Amino acid sequence: MAKKVRVRFAPSPTGGLHLGGVRTVLYNYLFARQHGGDFVLRIEDTDQSRYVPGAEEYIYECLKWCGLDPDESPLKGGPHAPYRQSERKELYRQYAEFLVQEGKAYYAFDRPEELESMRERFKTAENPSPQYDHKVRQEMRNSCSLTFEETQRMLNDGVPHVIRIRMPENDTVTFTDMIRGEVSFNTGLVDDKVLLKADGMPTYHLAVVVDDYLMKITHAFRGEEWLPSSPVHILLWKYLGWEEQMPQWAHLPLILKPDGNGKLSKRDGDRLGFPVFAMNWTVPAKGDTKEELIKGFRELGFMPEAFVNLLAMLGWNDGTDQELFTIDELKEKFSMDRVHKGGAKFDFEKAKWFNHEWIKRSDVARLKPDVKQIFDQHGLAAADDKLEKVINLVKERCTLLTDFVEQGKFFFETPQQWDLEAIKPKWNDAKQAFFGDAIGYFQDQTNWNAAADLENGFKELAAARQIKPGEVLLPLRIMLVGGKFGPGVFEIASIIGKEETVGRIKAVLEKL
C-alpha cells in the first residue's frame, strides 16, 4: 500500500514572508491536495539569536490571506505535535549522541578565537575561506584529535562544545531530485556541519532530518539554495538508519530579479519599487537602525487569488497557453514534472496584469468587502447599494484594489479640484449659456435613473443650440468627476443623483 503523502513548509520566524517562501507553500499545498495528503506547517525556531517577535503570527496571517491553510501546525495541533522546534529541543540530543557513538559525528570544543585562528592559518590563494572539514579536523580540539580520556574529562568538566557530522573524505552522494533528475556530490568538498550547538539547540541540518522522520514526511520541497546541504541531510538519513523512510526531494527554481541577474531579495523591492513580501512587514528597530515598514502585496491592493495565481506561474505551467487559474484548477492541473529547472524572472508589470484580470472576472459580492474596507480607510462612507453599482461600473479600470478609491471616490464626495485647464481653451459664451440651460433640463427630469434618457435629452439640447455633443461632453465629465477619466458620464450622473449633478455643474460654472 502506498504511503499517505505528507509535505511540510518549515519557515524560520526571522522576518517577513518572501514571495519565494509563499510559492514553496503553494507547491507543497497543491501537491498535498492533489494526492489526498497532508500539508504540515512546522516552525523552525532553533536559531534563537535570529528570532523576531511577531514573525510567527505574520506567517499564519499570510497563509490565511492566501487561503493555503495547513492541516497540522502549532496553531491547529495534530498527531505529531509539538510543531515548534524549540519545544522539541529535548528530542535532538539523543540522535546527535547516537551519531557520536556510531563514529559518524564528534564533539568539538573549539572556542570562537580558535576557529578564527584556524581560518587564518589555513588560508591560501586557492582556499581564501577554509572550512572545518576533514583536512583541518585533526588540527582542532575535538574528539577526533583528543584521546578518549581527554574527551571524557572535558565533557565531565562541562566544557562548552558542539557536535559536528564527520563527513567522509572522498565519497559520492547521489540522489534523484523530482525536478533536476540525478544529482551527485563529492563529500570531500563539504564541511563538517554543526548538528547540535553549545546551547543544546539543534541546527537546521539535524532538526530537519529528525522532524521529517518523526512527522512521516514523504516529499520535501524547498528552494534550490538548499541543494548544497543535500549531501549532509542524505548522510544523516543513512547514518540514523532511516534511509528507507527518506522523503523524495524537489529543489524549486529561484525567483530571479527582473533582469535575471541573481535571486530576488527583500532589498530589490525597495530599490525597484515593488513589494517582495506577501503582506506589510515591520522590521523591528535594532541598535542604531530605526523601525522600518516594508510594503506587501496585500496592502498594495492585490487580490489573494491573483497573488496565488501569479506565484504558481513563476516556475510552472500546465503545457498550454492558459495563464489564469483558480485554486481548484491549480489543484487539478499542478504537477512537479512541469516545474522548470531554471529560475523564473519576476515581472511586476505582469503581476499587475494578473491582478487586473482577477478584478475584472470577480463579481461584486467578492469585491465589495475589500473595496469597502479600503474606502473606510480613506474616510469614504459608501452605502451598500450605491457601492455595488460603482464597483460594477469601474472594476474594468482598476489594476489594484486601491485603484477603486481614485476611480470611484467622486461618486461619494464632491470633487474639491477640477481640471479647468482642459476646459478653458475651447470655452466660450455659447457653452456657458448652454450649461445654464442644461441645469434647467436636468432639474426637470423625473426619471433620473435611466442614464440613456438623460444622455438623449442632453444631446438633443446641444443640437438645438447648434453645439456638437462632443464639445460639451468633456466639460460635463470634468464638472462631475474633476478630471478626464471615469465610466460613462450619464451613468455617473444617474448614480450621484439630480441634486449633486446640478450642484457640481453650478460650482464649475462659477469658476469659469
**Residues with catalytic function:** 266
Cβ distance 164 to 142 under 8 Å? yes
Residues 273, 265: Cα–Cα separation, whole Å: 12
Q: Coil, strand, or helix at residue 291?
A: coil
Cβ distance 268 to 257 under 8 Å? yes
Q: Would you call the peptide bond into 82 cis, given omega within 30 degrees of 0 as the criterion?
A: yes
> Which residues in 63-161 belong to E strands, given as ranges?
105-108
Cβ distance 222 to 252 under 8 Å? yes
CA distances, 181 to each of 175, 220, 341 (Å) = 8, 15, 10
Residues 345, 251: Cα–Cα separation, whole Å: 17
Q: Is 295 annotated as a binding residue?
A: no
Residues 367, 369: Cα–Cα separation, whole Å: 6
- DSSP letter at 309 equals H
- DSSP output for 136-198: TGGGSSBTTTS-HHHHHHHHHTT---EEEE---SS-EEEEEETTTEEEEEEGGGS---EEE-T
**Closest residue by Cα to residue 368 from 394, 343, 336, 334:** 394
Binding residues for ATP: 266
Binding residues: 266
